[in-house]
Chain A
Amino acid sequence: MLSLTTDILDDMIDNKGINHILQLRYRGVQAANIYMQSTEPRVKLKSADTADEAKQHLEFLLYVIKQLSLLSAPFLLEGFAKIQHILGNDTISNVSTAVSGTTWSEARNLEEFDVTLSPDILYQKLEPAG
């Protein structure tokens, strides 16, 4: 089990280990993308027999997105603000981008939370040069 506490996060920042946090986090992003591909919620939603299962996968992915976004909140400020808007959950929206703090911990500990989704593009593709 790979775990990072807020104390560990602070310690890593103090000891200049920010790149390590972001590398671990990116592995989490890759794992979530693999989960999305392998569980195929888009396909399963088309059948009444598997639609509930697909919704469970999506609920779990929303949880994973919440956790990953909290981990990078101190670094990816603009992206985190967009995710707060996308998820539309009060506890998550109250989190400041500082690493420590009770609001961060409260949001981190949410294992089930309501969302009012407002999908948006997180990062626009760059225009090709020229």
Chain B
Amino acid sequence: MSAGYELPKKEILTGFFTVDGQKMSKSLGNAVKPHELIEKYGRDAAAFYLFYDLVIGSDGDFSFARLESCRESMLSSGWGNLVSRVSKLAEKNGVSRGVKHIECYDLCKDDKE
């Protein structure tokens, strides 16, 4: 408040996390450090995995294998390859616009319009 920032209207909290089915503990040394996660996998991959796989408000099991799988199959291969292939092919062949040529499964369309 003293800094002049508006206070958050809502806080979204997670449940408890286990790691690969085990409780996080100092003796096991299996605590997940967010900054290391972001450094290794990137901010998008860390956020995507947490949002995609773990339901906010519920307990969840954190898995490095699953995080890597999400990053590689969904972000890098599924999404990244699509963007890369389309943009390279389009650029090489002089495509200079995007067009909604066909009515499609529109995730962004507003029902109220």
In the complex the two chains form, what is the Cα distance from A28 to B79 in whole Å? 10
- CB-CB contacts below 8 Å: A12-27 with B: 14, 16, 18-19, 22-26
Are A60 and B74 CB-contacts (below 8 A) given A3-B110, A36-B82, A114-B96? no
Do residues B43 and A78 form an inter-chain contact, with CB atoms below 8 A? yes
Are A14 and B10 CB-contacts (below 8 A) given A76-B47, A123-B42? yes
| Majority secondary structure, A binding face | helix
Are A31 and B78 CB-contacts (below 8 A) given A36-B85, A86-B87, A123-B45? no
Do residues A123 and B51 form an inter-chain contact, with CB atoms below 8 A? no
Do residues B104 and A64 form an inter-chain contact, with CB atoms below 8 A? yes
Do residues A32 and B82 form an inter-chain contact, with CB atoms below 8 A? yes
Q: Residues on A close to B: CB < 8 A? A: 1-7, 14, 16, 18-19, 22-26, 28-33, 36, 41-42, 45, 51, 54-56, 58-71, 75-79, 83, 86-87, 89, 105, 108, 110-126
Do residues A63 and B98 form an inter-chain contact, with CB atoms below 8 A? yes
Which residues does chain A contribute within 8 Å of B48, judged by CB atoms?
22, 75-76
Which residues does chain A contribute within 8 Å of B10, judged by CB atoms?
14
- Interface size of B in residues (CB-CB distance below 8 Å): 55
Q: How far is the CB of A110 from chain B (nearest CB, A)?
A: 8
CB nearest neighbor in A for B90: A58
Do residues B44 and A117 form an inter-chain contact, with CB atoms below 8 A? no
Do residues A112 and B100 form an inter-chain contact, with CB atoms below 8 A? yes
Do residues A126 and B78 form an inter-chain contact, with CB atoms below 8 A? no
Q: How far is the CB of B7 from chain A (nearest CB, A)?
A: 17
Do residues B82 and A78 form an inter-chain contact, with CB atoms below 8 A? no
Do residues B86 and A24 form an inter-chain contact, with CB atoms below 8 A? no
B3 beta carbon closer than 8 Å to chain A: no
